[in-house]
Amino acid sequence: MSTLLIETRRARPADAADIAEIHDSAWRTAYRGLIPGAELEKMIQRRGPAWWETALRRGSRVVVLTFGDAIAGYANVGRNRARGLPYEGEIYELYLRPEYQGLGFGRRLFTDARKELVTAGFEGLAVWALAANEPALGFYRAMGGTGVARSTETFGERTLEKLAFGWNG
């Protein structure tokens, strides 16, 4: 009998190709039809393996979730960029390969990304999600997030609303 372990750890530069692949597939699944096609393609193409390797070598805080030998997802975390919000930390991105979604892996990744922020000394956290991305909104609400702000972001010719969720402590 073999047992597959589910673990999280800090990402290494050698993980760049896997993270880029997850970014690509998760973004296509989450944002196709929301973000205009040409803009979505540009955003995905900019974040290839070389981009991720450079980011990791420069110290970006990225946590990966592994399932056996495979990287199933990642979370990119750090200091909150929205100074008007009373949270020090932020989960910039949290994505799973589509085949791992809906299985509880996201909860584990979110919990461990939150621990990474606490370890880094950040009090509380914020997460932004597109208002039209119902699966993300449902996930962050299920994780106990409270809606704390609204904003917009423009993608080519389309301006989309985004929502911030917050967690204290």
Condensed to tens digits (0 to 9), the pLDDT of residues 41-74 reads 999 999 999 999 999 999 999 999 999 999 999 9
Q: What is the pLDDT of residues 8-20, one digit of tens each?
A: 999 999 999 999 9
Q: Could you tell me if residue 159 is inside a domain?
A: no
- In the chain, the number of structural domains is 1
**Is residue 1 predicted with pLDDT exceeding 70?**
no
**Is residue 3 predicted with pLDDT exceeding 80?**
no
For the chain, the distance separating the N- and C-terminal CA atoms, rounded to the nearest angstrom, is 41
Write the CATH number for 42: 3.40.630.30
Q: Could you tell me if residue 47 is inside a domain?
A: yes
Q: Could you tell me if residue 40 is inside a domain?
A: yes
Q: Could you tell me if residue 166 is inside a domain?
A: no
**Is residue 29 predicted with pLDDT exceeding 80?**
yes
pLDDT for 4: 75
Q: Could you tell me if residue 135 is inside a domain?
A: no
Please give the helix or strand (H or E) that residue 142 lies within, else none.
Answer: helix 134-142
Distances (CA, A) of 83 to 74, 86, 145, 150: 25, 8, 18, 14
Please choose, from the candidates 80, 65, 56, the residue with its C-alpha nearest in 3D space to the C-alpha of residue 9: 65
**Is residue 2 predicted with pLDDT exceeding 70?**
no
DSSP letter, residue 112: H
pLDDT for 66: 97
Q: Could you tell me if residue 147 is inside a domain?
A: no
The whole model's pTM is what? 0.94
Q: Could you tell me if residue 118 is inside a domain?
A: yes
pLDDT for 118: 96
pLDDT for 169: 76
Instruction: Give strand ranges (E) for the chain.
Output: 6-10, 61-67, 70-79, 89-96, 125-130, 146-155, 158-167
Please choose, from the candidates 19, 23, 20, the residue with its C-alpha nearest in 3D space to the C-alpha of residue 10: 19
Pairing of strands 125-130, 158-167: antiparallel
Q: Could you tell me if residue 140 is inside a domain?
A: no
Q: What is the pLDDT of residues 82-133, one digit of tens each?
A: 999 999 999 999 999 999 999 999 999 999 999 999 999 999 999 999 999 9
What proportions of the chain, in percent to the nearest 5, are helix, strand and coil? 40, 35, 25
DSSP letter, residue 100: G
